[in-house]
Amino acid sequence: MKHTDYFKNFLDNTVNLSKFNLDLLSQRVDTIYDVLKDDEDLGALIKKKIPQGSWPQKTIISPQNGKAFDGDFMVEMVENPDWASDLKKYGDAIYNVLHNKSPYKDMPHGRKCRCVYVNYANNAMHVDIVPFVTRADGTQWIINRDDNVWERTDTDGFTGWMRAKDETAGKHLREVIRIMKFLRDHKNSFTGTKSILLTTLLGEQVEEWHKVLDAGYYADLPTALLHIVSDLDTWLQARPTKPLIMDPSGSGTSFDHRWTQETYAYFRDRIHAHSAEINAAYYETDFDESVKKWQALFGPSFKAPESSTSSGKYSTVGTGASAAGVATVNLSGRAG
């Protein structure tokens, strides 16, 4: 059964990052950017900031197991020909300002391959600052400090790709991605698979032609979850060896460095198992047994909204008819 009211409650109260934390992230990013922009030396090299990753793509989730939630933003800098042989100077310029300014100098902070990071109190929030430049031809480039090379990126292109895929999936793709990210973190499943890979692989399964064959293919969240994960499982099972995953924005950049054959094989096996679990819960016709199967996958937070009562049980049974958009209701007479 679908239990669409359970899914909505699960997203709203367990999976989604709260508005308070979203606003706090935005405020802290603005503050960091203002500190960088106001610096006497660095300020002249900075043009603008752009939110990056799960934040602008609306796939950010509430942190699980006491972990911090991540927020990334890019800082556009003037390309400096004097730094051409030592590209890490872009990140170092940002790091040096934060390293010497309050309150950041007293907070955990540092440099990684493509960013400078700041950790907030009690590990509640983690912000990555990614320097990049825009060249005369309009292309965007970030810096890999470990290899001292430029890497092509296209943040707007990826966000646009995500928006289009989400529209095709009836506005359910982002919800599916958030749920699968929760599953990864909540059950420590397919650990080692970065969010950018999970997002890309799930999004690539969404195709308009599925709706031509079945108008209800992405009719609601549980149905979209069933089909997108099942389609990903089919795609993965046909590829025992780690495939090359390209940036869907068309930047020409691959995400190959994000995982190994070992982490890919583990991801492939776990998606296969989760696809079977989703199918079992969706097609279970007994209300309580279906809830138990969904909870076995997502935990006890997958439950009815507080306003629901035992006399108000309802759901749409996950049959072929309902998957095609035909409502099949139980004896309560209410569609789910």
Average pLDDT for residues 103-121, to the nearest whole number? 95
CATH code reported for the domain at 17-153: 3.30.460.90
d(CA 254, CA 246): 4
pLDDT tens, 11-61? 999 999 999 999 999 999 999 999 999 999 999 999 999 999 899 999 999
Least confident window among 191-205, 284-298, 317-331: 317-331
CB–CB of 222/283 below 8 Å? no
At residue 335, φ and ψ (nearest 5 deg) are: -80, 140
pLDDT tens, 116-175? 999 998 768 999 999 999 999 999 999 999 999 999 999 889 989 999 999 999 999 999
Write 316-320 long-range contacts (CB < 8 A, 24+). Answer: 316/1, 316/2, 316/4, 316/220, 317/1, 317/2, 317/283, 317/285, 318/1, 318/2, 318/222, 318/223, 318/226, 318/282, 318/283, 318/284, 319/283
d(CA 195, CA 152): 19
Q: What is the DSSP string of 12-26?
A: IIIIBPPHHHHHHHH
User: What sections of 187-260 are H helices per DSSP?
Assistant: 195-204, 208-213, 221-237
Written as six digits, the tokens of 21 are: 């934390």
For residue 112, pLDDT beyond 70? yes
pTM: 0.88
Written as six digits, the tokens of 55 are: 């934040």
